[in-house]
Structure formats: C-alpha cells, structure tokens
C-alpha cells in the first residue's frame, strides 16, 4: 500500500498516521474508524493557494464540501483561507454551524429548493451558482421579495468530456447540469440573468468531471469558456468578472493512478486564462476553482477489524471486515479500487491473496478484490488508504449499520471530529403511530 502524507510504519511494525499508532487508535475509538491526516489536507490547501499566488491572478479556491462535509473540516478550510462550495441545506447548515464566513460560501445544485434558497439568502452567502432557467426566475423573485441583490455565476456546460468514469462526467452536452454553450442556451441565460433587477451576474462556472489525470480537459474548457466570453462581450457588451473552472483534480488511489501535482493543474488553468482571456475585457477575470477529492481524498484512511473468513478452495478466500459499503459505497457504485494493508502487522511480507468483503447483506458489498496480505487472522486491523473523499459523505445506514467515527490526527494527537453513531442515533427519527400501540390494538 502506498503511504500517503504522514503515514508510515513505526518501530512496532504498526501503521502510524499523523504520529498516531493505528493500533492505539483502534483501542481508543474502535472500528471502523475514519482517520484523517490533518497535515496532508493543510498541505494540499497550501499547494493550491501557493500555485494561484504564483500565477499573479486574483483567485478563490473553494473546497467542494460534498467530498467530506463536517464542522471541523469547515473550520480547517476557513483557517487555510479557502472558500467553500455547498450543494444542499445540509452542507450549508454544517458550514454555518462551524461559523464559516457566509460571504465565502458558494451554493451549487441543479434543483435548489425554495427553502434552501431562502436559507442561503438569509445567511447572505457570497454567491449562487445558478443552474437553469427556473432558478433564474425563482432566485430573482425571492431576492426581490427580500430586497436583496444576489451575486450569481451561471453554470455552463462547455461540451468538454473529461476522461473519467462515465457516472461522474458532467461537462458534456447531455448533462443534467447547467446551460449548454453549444445549443445557445448559455447565451440566452446570460441575456436573461443580466436583465434581472436583483441578480448581479459575476460570470460563469464550468465543471468538466472528476478524478481527472490530464490538463487537456481543463485547457479545452478554458478555451471554450473564453470563446463564449468573447461572444458575450461582442454581442452584449458584458464581461465576466469571475470564471469558475470547477474541481475534478485526480488523486492516487492505487498503483497505476497518475495524478499530476496540484501546481501543474493550476498552472494549466491560469496559463490558459492568460492566453485566451487576454483582450476580452480590460482585466483578466478572477479565477475560482473547487477541488474536493484532491484536498481530502488521500488524507483519509479507514481502519477495520477483520472478523470472519471463507476459503473456497481453488476459487478465492473472502475476508470480512466490520464495515463495507455502508462506510465506503464507491467500489459497489463505481467499481473503484483501493489499496490496503494489515495495520497491526505492516512490516510482514505478503503470504496470501484475499478478497475483502464488507458485512452488509449484499453480494456486491466487496471493498477490494485480490489483495496480497500476510496470513490474515481474526482481529487483525485492515487499513484501506485514500478514503477521505466521498466515503463519510456517502456513507449510509444500510442494514442499520452505524456510521463510523472520524478522528483528525496530527503530531501524535488524535481528536474526535465525528462521534460514532449510537444505537439511539439509529432509531432517533423513528416513530410508532399511536394506533399501533400494543395496548390499544384489539383483536
């Protein structure tokens, strides 16, 4: 298993993250446990900020909180000077509860409800990324009602398809998101939005996909957006103050994944902006990006305890852990691959090939196929790397399995940032109608 960030194998042969021995973390917090390397997130955040500062452009780096939205993460992001992208009232509420500065919050989504819009207007967030014509009208009406002027970007689809898993491509024409440049709806939306009395159109947003390993897609998107900006300037006399180029920067889940350095992605974008936007307006636009996965993905490790195993001679050996698709649905959803090691015997050579099963009642609940490990025993600890993004945030209570705790680790210190769900949490919202009360049921 590749060791990310501060992960290392200590003198006891245990996996250590942020100076904390994972065997000790298991004793203190139990398993499954999401362990988050705080230092690595801060380092990535600084890589983004430094790369943009080096470009000389005005910028905002907004963390796409869908990747991992909890209060401590919002606080960390705020401390690093980033902005925050939210896509629901739940993510907005989390940010507000963490005291995140509202003016640095951007609200996305293809179907923001009136309640969500109201909440965001009342919070006075910095910007709405408007996705469709219905929303232009709704937001104008609601902002007018509250006598507010709201800053907006329009989400446009530049027609660039990123080389990525088909479920997570969003930049192509046939997408539920945004206004298409190709069929003219983006232009129409600009015209309409710019005439609204309570909307202040800052510019446009484009997001071409996720887990992208090349710069070409971003370069093409910049070029297309610049072409569109030129058309808008020529025909309507409007210039974009802000251009948001979304997220999607790839990370290394397994050997063979070849992400670029943060600085390479940023340079491709900022160079593209300098080339293609020159001369469109008096100044180059402010550039925003929205990394999610690349800020938190590699910083997360999930620690499980090995329970049962099933050896099918000549076929394979299944080894089951105390979590699975309920804490990491990505293998089942996207056939995503992960690397793992025995955290309590991290120095031992591989002795067998096993497949890691989760504990949910579903044959598809497999975390890793064909993993080389030392001879696995019940009670061993399995550490799965690179689970910081879209794991906790996509976790579920399927089978009423309780969601794990999350700890931040740094410099030998561990801090609980999300408590493990209790049995009480599982039934917290359940109600039994009075008419079903056993005493009142008559036969």
Instruction: Closer to ligand LLP by CB, 249 or 304: give it.
Output: 249
Is residue 249 a contact point for ligand LLP (CB under 6 A)? yes
292 contact partners, CB below 8 Å, separation of at least 6: 63, 64, 65, 66, 67, 68, 85, 210, 247, 389, 390
Shortest distance (Å) from residue 282 CB to ligand LLP:
28
Minimal distance in Å, beta carbon 180 to ligand LLP? 15
Q: Tell me whether residue 127 is one of the annotated catalytic residues.
A: no
Q: What share of the chain is helix, strand, coil (3-state, %, to 5)?
A: 35, 25, 40
Binding mask 106-145 for ligand LLP (x = CB under 6 A): --x-------------------------------------
Site string for ligand LLP, 151-190 (x = CB under 6 A): -----------------x-x--------------------
- Residue 290 touches ligand LLP, criterion: CB under 6 A: yes
Work out which of 15, 67, 266, 321 binds ligand LLP, going by CB under 6 A: 67
106 token code pair: 């951007």
Which of 290/298 has CB closer to ligand LLP?
290
Query: Does the protein bind ligand LLP through residue 49 (CB under 6 A)?
Result: no
Q: Is 294 in the site for ligand LLP (CB under 6 A)?
A: yes
Task: Give the chain's count of helices (H) and strands (E).
Answer: 12, 21
Cα distances from 421 to residues 24, 29, 323, 397, in angstroms, run 20, 12, 13, 10
Among 293, 345, 359, 403, binds ligand LLP (CB under 6 A): 293
Q: Using the rule CB under 6 A, is 202 a contact of ligand LLP?
A: no
Which residue stretch of 115-123, 144-152, 203-211, 420-428 sits at the interface with ligand LLP (rule: CB under 6 A)? 203-211
Piece in contact with ligand LLP (CB under 6 A), picked from 222-230, 246-254, 255-263, 310-318: 246-254
Nearest to 74 by CA among 105, 44, 53: 105
CB of 108 to ligand LLP, least distance (A): 5
Tokens of 384: 């799965």
Q: How far apart are CA 29 and CA 418, in angstroms?
A: 11
Answer for which of 248, 300, 323, 358 binds ligand LLP (CB under 6 A) is 248
Rounded to whole angstroms, what are the CA distances from 429 to 94, 115, 208, 400? 19, 21, 38, 13
Q: Which of 74, 127, 361, 386 is catalytic?
A: 361
Closest residue by Cα to residue 91 from 114, 119, 110? 119
Q: Considering only residues 317-376, where is the footprint of ligand LLP by CB under 6 A? A: 330, 334
Beta strands 286-289; 199-205: pairing state: unpaired
Strand order in the sheet with 15-17: 8-9, 15-17, 20-21
Q: What burial class does residue 168 get, using C-beta atoms within 10 Å of its C-beta: 0-12 exposed, 13-18 middle, 19+ buried?
A: middle
3-state secondary structure of 117: helix
Structural contact between residues 86 and 107, judged by C-beta atoms closer than 8 angstroms: yes
Nearer Cβ to ligand LLP (144/254): 254
Q: Helix 114-123 vs helix 133-145: angle between axes, to the nearest 10 degrees?
A: 50
The answer to whether 402 is a known ligand-binding residue is no
203 binds ligand LLP (CB under 6 A): no
CA atoms within 13 A on the CB side of 1: 30
Q: Is 291 annotated as a binding residue?
A: yes
- Asked if residues 280 and 235 have their Cβ atoms less than 8 Å apart, the reply is no
The values of phi and psi at residue 96, to 5°, are: -65, -40
Pick the closer one to ligand LLP by CB: 44 or 207. 207
Residue numbers 378-397 binding ligand LLP by CB under 6 A: 389-390
Q: Which of 159, 217, 291, 324 binds ligand LLP (CB under 6 A)?
A: 291
Stretch that binds ligand LLP, among 180-188, 206-214, 414-422, 435-443 (CB under 6 A): 206-214
Instruction: Check whether 300 is labelled as a binding-site residue.
Output: no
For residue 136, the minimal CB distance to ligand LLP (Å) is: 18
Binding stretches for ligand LLP (CB under 6 A): 64, 67, 108, 168, 170, 207, 210-211, 246-249, 290-294, 330, 334, 389-390
Residues designated catalytic: 361
Binding site members for pyridoxal 5'-phosphate: 248, 290-293, 390
């Amino acid at each position: 298993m590749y060791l990310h960030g501060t992960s290392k194998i200590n003198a006891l042969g245990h996996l250590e993250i942020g100076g904390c021995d994972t065997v000790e973390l298991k004793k203190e917090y139990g398993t499954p446990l999401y362990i988050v390397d705080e230092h690595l997130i801060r380092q990535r955040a600084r890589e983004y900020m430094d790369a943009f500062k080096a470009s000389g452009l005005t910028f905002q780096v907004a963390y796409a909180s869908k990747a991992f939205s909890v209060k401590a993460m919002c606080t960390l992001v705020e401390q690093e000077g980033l902005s925050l992208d939210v896509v629901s009232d739940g993510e907005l509420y989390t940010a507000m509860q963490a005291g995140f500065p509202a003016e640095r919050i951007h609200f996305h989504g293809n179907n923001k409800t009136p309640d969500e819009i109201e909440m965001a207007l009342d919070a006075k967030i910095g910007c709405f990324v408007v996705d469709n014509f219905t929303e232009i009208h709704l937001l104008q009406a609601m902002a007018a009602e509250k006598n507010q002027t709201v800053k907006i970007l329009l989400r446009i689809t530049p027609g660039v398809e990123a080389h990525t898993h088909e479920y997570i491509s969003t930049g192509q024409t046939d997408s539920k998101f945004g206004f298409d440049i190709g069929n003219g709806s983006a232009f129409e939306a600009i015209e309409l939005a710019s005439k609204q009395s309570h909307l202040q159109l800052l510019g446009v947003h484009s997001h071409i996909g996720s887990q992208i390993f090349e710069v070409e897609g971003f370069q093409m998107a910049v070029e297309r957006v610049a072409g569109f900006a030129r058309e808008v300037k020529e025909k309507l006399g409007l210039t974009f103050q802000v251009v948001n180029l979304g997220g999607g920067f790839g990370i290394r889940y397994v050997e063979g994944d070849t992400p670029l350095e943060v600085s390479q992605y940023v340079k491709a974008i900022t160079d593209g902006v300098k080339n293609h936007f020159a001369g469109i307006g008096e100044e180059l636009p402010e550039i925003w990006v929205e990394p999610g996965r690349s800020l938190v993905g590699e910083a997360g490790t999930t620690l499980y305890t090995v329970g049962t195993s099933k050896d099918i001679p000549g076929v394979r050996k299944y080894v089951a852990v105390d979590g699975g698709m309920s804490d990491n649905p990505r293998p089942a959803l996207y056939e995503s691959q992960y690397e793992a090691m025995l955290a309590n015997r991290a120095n031992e050579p591989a002795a067998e090939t096993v497949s890691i099963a989760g504990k949910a009642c579903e044959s598809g609940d497999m975390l890793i196929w064909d993993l080389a490990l030392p001879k696995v025993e019940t009670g061993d600890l399995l550490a799965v790397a690179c689970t910081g993004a879209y794991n906790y945030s996509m976790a579920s209570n399927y089978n009423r399995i309780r969601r794990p705790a999350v700890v931040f680790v740094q410099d030998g210190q561990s801090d609980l940032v999300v408590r493990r769900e209790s049995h009480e949490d599982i039934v917290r919202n359940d109600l039994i109608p009075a008419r079903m009360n056993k005493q009142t049921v008559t036969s």
